[in-house]
Chains A and B, each alone.
Chain A
Amino acid sequence: MIITLIDIALLTFMGATALAILRLRSLFAVVMLSGIYSLLAASMFVALDAVDVAFTEAAVGAGISTVLMIAVLALTGERERAPSHTMWLPMAVVVLTGAALIYATFDMPAFGAANAPVNLHVAPRYLNESFAEVGLPNVVTSVLASYRGYDTLGEVTVIFTAAVAVMLLIGGRKGDDAGIKNEPADDAVDDADSDGNGDTA
């Protein structure tokens, strides 16, 4: 019962924080709230028995990504402009999609059901056999590193690729290349020249 109350309280806080993020215009406050939101999500994951996930979410969401966002705000400014026109169409789309999804949840297995389809496939096998096969008490590590090693290799490659892409985008010194705004004008001049050359030749 107490667990249920904690669940409901944390989820309600998450909803409230997300709404505040949507409404606030000071981006600094938005970034701070998104850190709080991540911490609430991490607490929620502990309540749902996903301790490894909670650990990651707390370190990544509340730590690293907040720092990165603040570093970017220092470069881009911290005020958001008010929207210039009303947003009825997005609101209608979002409400309709949400209603459809909520209608769909009534076919979902009840929260915590042990006989839900997701819990019947390979999960019992991992829980029963992994200690004999891999010898580690932490099933999450066994599945992550051994049973789904390919998957994890792919994820590590994605992180590597993202780091390389960030290096390519902002690794050079500022102003190494011409601003995008100026390029079309230069191209237009070049095109005119080459056209002229073509005509004379």
Chain B
Amino acid sequence: MLQVILDHYNYWIAILLMMIGLYTVVARGNLVKKLVGLNIFQTSVFLLYITMGKVAGGTAPILDDRFTVYSNPIPHVLILTAIVVGVATTALGLALVVRIKESYGTIEEDELNLLDGEM
């Protein structure tokens, strides 16, 4: 039983974080909060990938004569670029939020829907 928990704890936490992020995106009305939720969701996916690449007893994939077991470098490559692209797209989302604030005077979803309904 303990072994089952230890074998899957990383996956479970990744899923928990993913669901917290998803819930923040869906259920919270503030657009900045939604973006933070999206970032949590994103990090949970990173965690899932890196977890899958870990090899027990391995070390970081930087070759050296002293080590023989290395963790899988491919998830690292994929996630490394994804993080930087993630911040660039977050900046794009924040720019949209700034423009929405300037045009509508609010960034709360309910008020935005009301303003759109009036038009």
A: which residues have CB within 8 A of B? 4, 7-8, 11-12, 14-15, 18-19, 21-22, 27, 30-31, 34, 37-38, 41, 44-45, 48-53, 56-57, 60-61, 64-65, 68-69, 72-73, 75-77, 80-81, 83-84, 87, 90-91, 93-95, 97-98, 101-102, 105-106, 108-114, 116, 118-119, 122-123, 126-127, 130-131, 137-140, 143-144, 148, 151-152, 155, 158-159, 162-163, 165-166, 169-170, 174, 179-181, 184-185
Contacts and interface: CB of A to CB of B under 8 A. Distances in A.
A73 B97 CA distance: 10
A181 B4 CA distance: 56
A108 B89 CA distance: 31
Label chain B's interface by main secondary structure: helix
Contacts of B86: 60
Interface of B: 6-13, 15-24, 26-30, 32-33, 35-37, 39-40, 43, 46-47, 50-64, 69-77, 79-81, 83-92, 94-99, 101-104, 107-108, 110, 115, 119
B95 A97 contact: no
12 contacts: A18-B40, A19-B20, A22-B37, A56-B80, A68-B91, A105-B11, A118-B72, A123-B73, A138-B63, A143-B73, A144-B80, A179-B103
Label chain A's interface by main secondary structure: helix
B29 A72 contact: no
A90 B62 contact: no
A60 to B, nearest CB: 5
Contacts of B46: 41, 45, 53, 57
A116 B52 contact: yes
Contact of B43 (A61, A68, A140, A148): A61
Top 8 A-B pairs, shortest CB-CB distance: A112-B56, A162-B88, A110-B7, A49-B71, A169-B95, A87-B27, A155-B81, A80-B30
